[in-house]
Structure 1
Amino acid sequence: MHKINAFFSWFSRPRQQNQVLLIKGSYYYDADRIDATGQFSLNMPLQLRPEPDNEYDANAIQVWVSDNLSQAHLLGYIPRADAKRMNWLIDHQSLSDCRLETCYRQYQRLYLYMNVSSHLTLWQRIQINWFV
């Protein structure tokens, strides 16, 4: 009986997962302006906001950042391939942190990557990998 309880305890214990994602469409929004003022810093917190009424993708998720004056700026979107999974994490309150991972320029274009941390049990990892 003790082994069974230990198994279920291990099975239901949340584990941290990190995923690094490119922020798409940043050249259409406020990212260049924020970069020009030097306000980007690594590990700065980002906010994810689902946009279910988006006409192109019902799973669209916006990526926002607050500047030094507490103004919110839209940086871009989560890639479409990852949006459904991220929506599932948001709906199940499994996201623990979202931060700016890397910021660089290549050929006049700004590239932003974010690190998304989540805490999932084994059963949740199975659900998200098989059913989402």
Structure 2
Amino acid sequence: AVVGTWNLAELNINPPQDINGDGNSTSNILTELPCATGTLEINGDGTWSSTVVNLEITTITGGLFDIRCSNTSNNSSGVWQFQNSQLSLFLNSTLFLYNLNGNRLTNTTNEDLPGFMSEVYEKQ
């Protein structure tokens, strides 16, 4: 169920921000920054790899942040396990947990900016 290519569909933040200056604040960075992209590849041999555009997040004041795409990407890889609708991605000694719901994988951390609330991938 999880083997295949997954594209980043949501990268949620708190508090919501108006990153592109259009007057609308949102919690999903991808609606504000089209350059924020990511791909997660889950391979049948038990390995995974991902490429995600790095974001530069700078605190301004009063709960506001400057968020921009950098010119670099973060490439990661490791091994995975899947059990009871939960995908475990292992990157060296770090574990990332994703819940599978339909064609969406969600990792929820519930961190406020400069961290992320959650990231969601959709299967291609």
Decide which structure has greater strand share: 2
Decide which structure has greater helix share: 1
TM-score, length-normalised on structure 1?
A: 0.26
Higher relative contact order (CA 8 A, sep 6+): 1
TM-score, length-normalised on structure 2?
A: 0.27
The structure number with the bigger radius of gyration is 1
